[in-house]
Amino acid sequence: MLEAAKSYKGYRSYEYLEAGVDYRQFELAPELGRVPAYQGPELTGEQAARVRRLLTDSLVVSLHDHPSIFPDDISQTVDYNRTARHHTGYEGLARSGMTVVFDNLMDGTCCVTSQAGWKWSDVVADIGMRLSDIAHQDFLIKVERLADVREAHASGRMGLVLALEAATMIENEVDRIDMLYGFGVRQMGIAYSEANTLGSGLKERGDGGLTLFGEKAVRRMNKLGIAIDVSHSGDQTSLDTIRHSDKPILITHAGARSVWPTNRMKPDSVIKAAAERGGVIGLEAAPHTTLSPDHPRHSLESVMDHFTYCVDLVGIDHVAFGPDTLFGDHVGLHDTFAEHLSIKEAHAGLTYEKVPYVDGLENPAECFWNIIAWLVTHGYSDDEITKVVGGNVMRVLEEVWI
């Protein structure tokens, strides 16, 4: 049993309140066993022991996830989101082996009061409600500095980093970045698909690059110690952000456009520019994103095709994992929020076989066991594995976080 599973005492979100009285109750999806377990290559006893050791001893960092539990009936998600009370998957996280997860909250589905999402008041409500729940338990540690990561690892618990996929909610108020930092946000994107006051998102027909206000926001994030993400930003906006930032830039969850040619993937020029400035790319696994010609049915194997390509392109020191998973029907969520999440634009007209879930990377509980097992069975050394499952991200955070 992993140390985190031993230290988890069974807490469930908002159990300090009365369900149905203090908040609306929903039937939630199971954290474990929602889909059949991944049937990868059978590990030898020695290989399984090595996977367990690496998962236990290493600093394992998910650079991008949404470790919330969604309604079992995914069509109820809009009503669920309006309560601002996403339930954290504590049990699933305790089984994951992760040291730290970058929790990206409701991102583009943050529709507490607005149909469009990304409103300041809604994002603050989302953050505040999540922190209220976290404050009532002692398994997850809110990570605000590197020492919190080390404490989580040493105590057999788990760290959670508050992250946002875009800075849309700051509008033209740069001081709101300081407020978000005060709330505990330590990583933030520039734009999420649609353009905002900082720059262009990946769905726009034209990309004007980082705006003058965007340059100001980048400088403020550098000064505060907020890691900057360009996963959903347009290509020119991404390149401008990398150029204007004094600190390394993260591509927290994407893949290589040279492997699968959609706007949601990053071109070699952006991946290389980020690496040249010391940054990393985290490999994405949300349904129907990181597909590949060799593995067109989305699975762990498809994602690892992007991994091997990026390692060949920029070296193993600049690659990590941001699986972008959740507890529940992720495909159904995409169908429900297709307009908010720019699903059509992300696929750019390519045809692909739709799957009910990404086999091997379906939820936060299973991702890193399967990732490390794949790396072990494909001949990667312990040093290489510890770099890509967390070491590379920690190197960037040591430079970015204040």
Instruction: Indicate the pLDDT class of residue 400, thresholds 50, 70 and 90.
Output: very high
For 58-400, CATH number out of 3.90.1010.10, 3.20.20.140, 1.20.1250.20, 3.20.20.60 equals: 3.20.20.140
DSSP string, 226-253: -EEE-TTB-HHHHHHHHHH-SS--EEEE
**pLDDT of res. 149:** 97
**What is the rounded distance in angstroms from the CA atom of residue 355 to the CA atom of residue 84?**
29
Q: Tell me the mean pLDDT in the region 250-258.
A: 98
**pLDDT of res. 110:** 87
What is residue 182's three-state secondary structure?
helix
**What is the rounded distance in angstroms from the CA atom of residue 241 to the CA atom of residue 209?**
8
What is residue 187's three-state secondary structure?
strand
- 339 Cβ neighbours under 8 A, 6+ residues apart: none
**Contact 199/214 with Cβ under 8 angstroms?**
yes
**Contact 376/58 with Cβ under 8 angstroms?**
no
**Contact 220/178 with Cβ under 8 angstroms?**
yes
Indicate if the pLDDT at residue 346 is higher than 70. Answer: no
CB burial class (10 A; 0-12, 13-18, 19+) of residue 339? Answer: exposed
Which tokens belong to 241? Answer: 């952000």
Which tokens belong to 386? Answer: 């510890």
Give me Rg for the CA atoms of the chain.
19
Which tokens belong to 297? Answer: 């049915």
Look at the alpha carbons of 301, 302, 303, 305 in this order and tell me if their dihedral is positive or negative.
positive
Closest among 325, 321, 299 to 310, alpha carbons compared: 321
Query: For residue range 305-342, what is the model confidence (pLDDT) as tens digits?
Result: 999 999 999 999 999 999 999 999 999 999 888 665 55
Closest among 258, 242, 128 to 180, alpha carbons compared: 128
Mean pLDDT of the chain: 95
Indicate if the pLDDT at residue 182 is higher than 90. Answer: yes
**What is the rounded distance in angstroms from the CA atom of residue 173 to the CA atom of residue 206?**
25
Closest among 7, 61, 69, 105 to 367, alpha carbons compared: 61
**pLDDT of res. 260:** 96
Q: Tell me the mean pLDDT in the region 237-248.
A: 98
**pLDDT of res. 341:** 53
**What is the rounded distance in angstroms from the CA atom of residue 231 to the CA atom of residue 208?**
17
Name the β-bridge partners of 163: 187
Which tokens belong to 251? Answer: 């591509």
Query: For residue range 106-133, what is the model confidence (pLDDT) as tens digits?
Result: 987 888 998 888 999 999 999 999 999 9
**Contact 132/116 with Cβ under 8 angstroms?**
no
Cα end-to-end distance, the chain, whole Å: 35
Model pTM greater than 0.85?
yes
**pLDDT of res. 41:** 87
Locate the DSSP E strands across 230-310. Answer: 250-254, 280-283
Q: Tokens 């830039």, residue?
A: 249
**What is the rounded distance in angstroms from the CA atom of residue 89 to the CA atom of residue 30?**
9
Indicate left, alpha or beta for 243 from its phi (over 0: left) and psi (-120 to 50: alpha): alpha
Query: For residue range 42-51, what is the model confidence (pLDDT) as tens digits?
Result: 999 999 999 9
**Contact 345/301 with Cβ under 8 angstroms?**
no
Which tokens belong to 17? Answer: 């309140």
**What is the rounded distance in angstroms from the CA atom of residue 379 to the CA atom of residue 130?**
40
Query: For residue range 32-42, what is the model confidence (pLDDT) as tens digits?
Result: 999 999 998 89
Query: For residue range 261-311, what is the model confidence (pLDDT) as tens digits?
Result: 999 999 999 999 999 999 999 999 999 999 999 999 999 999 999 999 999
Which tokens belong to 54? Answer: 């690496």
Report the percent of the chain where pLDDT is more than 70.
96
**What is the rounded distance in angstroms from the CA atom of residue 176 to the CA atom of residue 169?**
9
Q: Where are the alpha helices (DSSP H) in 21-162?
A: 45-57, 77-82, 90-94, 120-134, 146-154
**What is the rounded distance in angstroms from the CA atom of residue 308 to the CA atom of residue 189?**
25
**pLDDT of res. 256:** 98
